[in-house]
Amino acid sequence: MALIVQKYGGTSMGSPERIRSVARRVAKFRAQEHQVVVVVSAMSGETNRLIALARELSSNPDPRELDVVISTGEQVTIALLALALQEIGVAAKSYTGAQVKILTDSAHTKARILSIDQAGIRADLDAGKVVIVAGFQGVDEHGAITTLGRGGSDTTGVALAAALSADECQIYTDVDGVYTTDPRIVPEARKLDTITFEEMLEMASLGSKVLQIRSVEFAGKYKVKLRVLSSFEEENEGTLITVEENKNMEHPVISGIAFNRDEAKITVLGVPDQPGIAYQILGPVAEANIDVDMIIQNVGRDGLTDFSFTVSRGDLDRTTNVLDRVKAGIGAAAIEADQSLCKVSVVGVGMHSHPGVAAKMFKTLSAEGINIRMISTSEIKISVAIEEKYLELAVRVLHKAFDLDQAR
Ligand code: ADP
Ligand code: ASP
Ligand code: MG
């Protein structure tokens, strides 16, 4: 008997028929005597619909109330799945995040999980019930409902698996694993049987939404056995996220390509080219709790320079507001915003022992006439900002250039 946490995403829960199919899979695991905790997302499209509704009534929704609205999608699906399981003779009970007591901080719409009360879940599992928990939501110390950020049900799943010391956490989705890149963009993308935590962490943070980044962080920290697999196929192995670095000499230099459309570039024009200027610009931005991604300071001329950086598009207005306030103090001539960029990244743990990855990446893009606007690198990734209209082309040509479409 094993304890398994299964998480089903929006498409997997997208219709009564899909929910019945999830129930049948859960029943199969119960029939093998496994204890099963299921974490579900809202039906696909529902969270977007709820956000749009809130925005219709408020141009700048109060985060506390927004969380109350957008957490309702998962409250529907937990009970629907419980009903579907009961209908086929499987004892099941649903829990909202607050009912479990998934305690989070109070950072509405991007809360972090602090602790999980296991008592109720354990008692139900021991009584032979399937426990169904609403993904994406928790409760803060004041009893306010919180949500964990888009895609947060993955994190609920992995956090529960960690808290319960589950034998495995299975993330069921609409693709059968983690691919070399998003298979919706590159049909030649190949499924990976395994990927290291490090690589998965980079892929997730660079925009591969197949797993929410915090779920990968949790899995790495608490050594959760994590697998991504398809809810549409009867039997499949999916992709195992491994702690071990792949010792195989044949391990490819590049494992995958990630991309992110959610980039906005801000340029502070004509600032004095002197020590401390980066701090004067980015200090107030950091104080406003805005994450900065790529940064570039242009070569100065006549004692002046331009300073550019990227933030997520949702933070653009706040960032320009902050800079408008400090503009005079730093002596900037103007502030420009540009939302036409995106970011494309190649990721691979093999990169640090193989020089020439950057050169190959830049050569491949230049052969297509794609201009690189910004660059950032780490030990295991190289990211470039390019015009968004070239995104799909860039991902496709890089995928081919690094032989990711070749079977290994
Ligand atoms: P769920 O609703 O199940 O959480 P998501 O839409 O959040 O599903 O994540 C699955 C989607 O992630 C896939 O449909 C795929 O388009 C996308 N995706 C992006 N990058 C990758 C990748 N490298 N491998 C697999 N899927 C990816
Ligand atoms: N329903 C939430 C979202 O759409 C959480 C999730 O699906 O993981 O972001
Ligand atoms: Mg998701």
Tokens in use for 340?
Answer: 């036409």
Give a yes or no: residue 32 inside a domain.
yes
Q: Is the pLDDT of residue 109 over 90?
A: yes
Query: Structurally, how many domains does the chain consist of?
Result: 1
Give a yes or no: residue 148 inside a domain.
yes
Calculate what percentage of the chain has a pLDDT beyond 90: 85
Of ligand 1's atoms, which has the minimum distance to the CA of residue 44? 2
CB crowding 228-255: b at 16 or more within 10 Å, else e:
bbbbeeeeeebbbbbeeebeeeeebbbb
| Substitution candidate for ligand 2 out of 12, 18, 40, 41 with most atoms within 8 A of CB | 41
Please report the DSSP string for 291-345 in residue order. Answer: ----EEEPPPBTTEEEEEEEE-GGGHHHHHHHHHHHHHHHT-SEEEEE--EEEEE
Q: pLDDT value at position 152? A: 98
Distance 110 CA to ligand 2 centre (A): 12
Report the C-alpha gap between 345 and 244 in whole angstroms: 23
Q: Is the pLDDT of residue 396 over 70?
A: yes
Distance 122 CA to ligand 1 centre (A): 31
Q: Is the pLDDT of residue 408 over 70?
A: no
pLDDT tens sequence across 13-26:
999 999 999 999 99
153 lines ligand 2 (CB under 6 A): yes
Give a yes or no: residue 64 inside a domain.
yes
Q: Is the pLDDT of residue 30 over 90?
A: yes
Distance 233 CA to ligand 1 centre (A): 16
Q: pLDDT value at position 246? A: 54
Q: Is the pLDDT of residue 244 over 70?
A: no
Q: Is the pLDDT of residue 60 over 60?
A: yes
The set of residues, in sequence order, having a beta carbon less than 8 Å from that of 7 and lying 6+ positions away, is 38, 39, 40, 41, 135, 153, 154, 156, 157, 169, 170, 171, 172
Q: Is the pLDDT of residue 252 over 80?
A: no
| Substitution candidate for ligand 2 out of 39, 74, 96, 136 with most atoms within 8 A of CB | 136
174 lines ligand 1 (CB under 6 A): yes
CATH of the domain at 117: 3.40.1160.10
151 lines ligand 2 (CB under 6 A): yes
- Confidence band (pLDDT; 50, 70, 90) for 250? low
More confidently predicted of 247 and 54: 54
Q: pLDDT value at position 245? A: 59
Calculate what percentage of the chain has a pLDDT beyond 70: 98
Give a yes or no: residue 329 inside a domain.
no
Tokens in use for 239?
Answer: 């992709």
Beta-bridge partners for 170: 6, 227
Give a yes or no: residue 248 inside a domain.
no
Nearest CA residue ID for atom 6, ligand 2: 151
Nearest CA residue ID for atom 9, ligand 1: 210
Give a yes or no: residue 84 inside a domain.
yes
Ion ligand 3: residue ranges with CB closer than 5 A? 9, 151
Report the C-alpha gap between 397 and 395 in whole angstroms: 6
Q: Is the pLDDT of residue 266 over 80?
A: yes
Q: pLDDT value at position 188? A: 94
Q: How far is CA 155 from CA 185, 245, 323, 361, in A?
A: 25, 23, 34, 32
209 lines ligand 1 (CB under 6 A): yes
Least Cα distance to 149 among 205, 74, 67 occurs for 67
User: Pseudo-torsion of CA 9, 11, 14, 17, nearest 10°?
Assistant: -100
Report the C-alpha gap between 140 and 111 in whole angstroms: 9
175 lines ligand 1 (CB under 6 A): yes
Of ligand 2's atoms, which has the minimum distance to the CA of residue 156? 8
Q: Is the pLDDT of residue 249 over 70?
A: no
Pairing of strands 295-297, 194-196: unpaired
pLDDT tens sequence across 274-321:
888 899 999 999 999 899 999 988 877 888 999 999 999 989 999 999
Q: pLDDT value at position 251? A: 67
Q: pLDDT value at position 298? A: 80
10 lines ligand 1 (CB under 6 A): yes
Beta-bridge partners for 336: 267
Which one-letter amino acid corresponds to residue 245? E
Give a yes or no: residue 386 inside a domain.
no
Tokens in use for 352?
Answer: 């640090």
Q: pLDDT value at position 407? A: 72
Write out the residue range of the structural domain in which residue 86 sits. 3-174
Are the C-beta atoms of 172 and 7 separated by less than 8 Å?
A: yes
Q: pLDDT value at position 301? A: 82
- Confidence band (pLDDT; 50, 70, 90) for 226? very high
97 lines ligand 2 (CB under 6 A): no
What is the pLDDT averaged over residues 255-284?
93
The pair phi, psi for residue 284, each rounded to 5°, is -60, -30
Q: pLDDT value at position 253? A: 85
The set of residues, in sequence order, having a beta carbon less than 8 Å from that of 287 and lying 6+ positions away, is none
| Substitution candidate for ligand 1 out of 18, 155, 173 with most atoms within 8 A of CB | 173
The set of residues, in sequence order, having a beta carbon less than 8 Å from that of 248 and lying 6+ positions away, is none
SS3 label, residue 85: helix
Of ligand 1's atoms, which has the minimum distance to the CA of residue 257? 23
Report the C-alpha gap between 29 and 318 in whole angstroms: 48
Rounded to two decimals, the pTM is: 0.91
Give a yes or no: residue 281 inside a domain.
no
Q: Is the pLDDT of residue 203 over 80?
A: yes
Ligand nearest to the CA of 232: 1
> Taking the CB of residue 351, how many other CB atoms lie within 10 A of it?
22
pLDDT tens sequence across 132-159:
999 999 999 999 999 999 999 999 999 9
Please state which of the ranges 238-252, 267-281, 388-402 shows the lowest mean pLDDT.
238-252
136 lines ligand 2 (CB under 6 A): yes
- Confidence band (pLDDT; 50, 70, 90) for 206? very high
Beta-bridge partners for 227: 170, 240
75 lines ligand 2 (CB under 6 A): no
More confidently predicted of 327 and 14: 14
Please report the DSSP string for 92-132 in residue order. Answer: EEEE-HHHHTEEE-S-TTS--EEEE--HHHHHHHHTTPEEE
